[in-house]
Every structure is written in C-alpha cells, then in structure tokens.
C-alpha cells in the first residue's frame, strides 16, 4: 500500500511542481531536482529494482546530466532544466529515456513556437498586473522548458519499472 502510494505520487507530483514553478517563476528549484533524485533511492528498491538496475539508472542520469550541461553551456537550456532532465532520467531508466527525450524535444519546440506567437501579440491590460504573465510574455525571457520536461516525463512514466511494479 505504501509502495503504491509512493510510486503514484512522488514522480508525478514532482513533475507537476516543476512545471508549475517554471511557469510561474521561470525557475526550476535545485531542491526539487535533488529531492527527486534522493527519493528515487527510497522508492527504487520498493519497486523491485536491484542494485544492478539502480546502477544503470544512475549511469544513465549521469550521462543525461553531462549532455544537459553541455546544452546549458551553449545557453540552450537553463541550469534548473539540466538538473531536472537528469533527475527525471534517473527515474525513467533505459526503457523510457529515448521516448522521454523525443517527447521533450517535440513538446519543447511546440511550447517555444506557441510562446513566440503569444509574445508577438500585445498583452491584454487586464493581465498586465500578473507578474508571472508579464515575465512569460516578455521577449527578453527564455522558455519555461521545465513544462516540456515535466509533461514528457508524465507521458512516459507508465512505461517504467515503477509502474510495472504496480502491475500496469
């Protein structure tokens, strides 16, 4: 019962929180990525992952972190996005990481195009009192890519060992 609750709430909840905070603040908090990574080590054994599986997940996350920080160094993604990407890959593992990456690229591209279109329109006066909307509408701001990462993570989470442990 506790295992089921942890599997069904931790990862999806973290993804929802990452998307919301990135949308509202244009930041993915470091503590969120750290908590997600730490909680993986609590939930993974409960889901039946052995040490070899956990090691594979960790190696994959380290590669994801390295690739994400290369993208960060070129200014293509934010540092919070890089850490969230790696923490998400830790949970998803080899069975879902390719799908996750493809979905993230597609959803991120669609989000970018949508924001570019929206930023080309004038912001309605009644919305100009909302700081987060003004920031999101500003052409000087980046794209809250945590939204795409979170949505992609939620799309592929059903294909992971965690959901398989629940019989899905």
Convert the pLDDT of each residue in 95-141 to its tens digit. Answer: 999 999 999 999 999 999 999 999 999 999 998 899 999 999 999 99
* CA 137/CA 149 separation, integer angstroms: 20
Least confident of 54-58, 82-86, 87-91, 131-135: 131-135
pLDDT of residue 22: 96
152: nearest Cα among 74, 77, 97, 94:
97
Cα angle 128, 129, 133 (rounded to 5 degrees) comes to 60
Summarised one tens digit per residue, pLDDT across range 9-20 is 999 999 999 999
- Do 96 and 160 meet the contact criterion of CB atoms below 8 Å apart? yes
pLDDT of residue 41: 97
Tally of CA atoms within 13 A in the half-sphere of 132 that contains its CB: 9
* CA 2/CA 6 separation, integer angstroms: 6
pLDDT of residue 99: 97
**pTM for the predicted model, two decimal places:** 0.94
């Amino acid at each position: 019962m506790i295992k089921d609750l942890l599997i069904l709430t931790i990862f999806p909840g973290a993804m929802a929180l990452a998307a919301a905070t990135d949308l509202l603040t244009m930041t993915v908090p470091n503590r969120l990525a750290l908590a997600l990574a730490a909680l993986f080590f609590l939930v993974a054994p409960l889901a039946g992952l052995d040490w070899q599986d956990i090691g594979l997940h960790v190696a994959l996350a380290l590669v994801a972190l390295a690739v994400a920080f290369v993208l960060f160094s070129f200014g293509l993604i934010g540092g919070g996005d890089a850490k969230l990407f790696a923490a998400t890959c830790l949970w998803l593992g080899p069975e879902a990481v390719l799908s996750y990456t493809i979905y993230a690229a597609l959803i991120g591209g669609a989000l970018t195009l949508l924001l570019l279109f929206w930023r080309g329109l004038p912001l309605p006066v009644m919305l100009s009192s909302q700081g987060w909307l003004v920031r999101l509408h500003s052409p000087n701001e980046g794209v809250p890519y945590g939204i795409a990462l979170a949505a992609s993570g939620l799309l592929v989470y059903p294909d992971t060992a965690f959901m398989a442990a629940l019989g899905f």
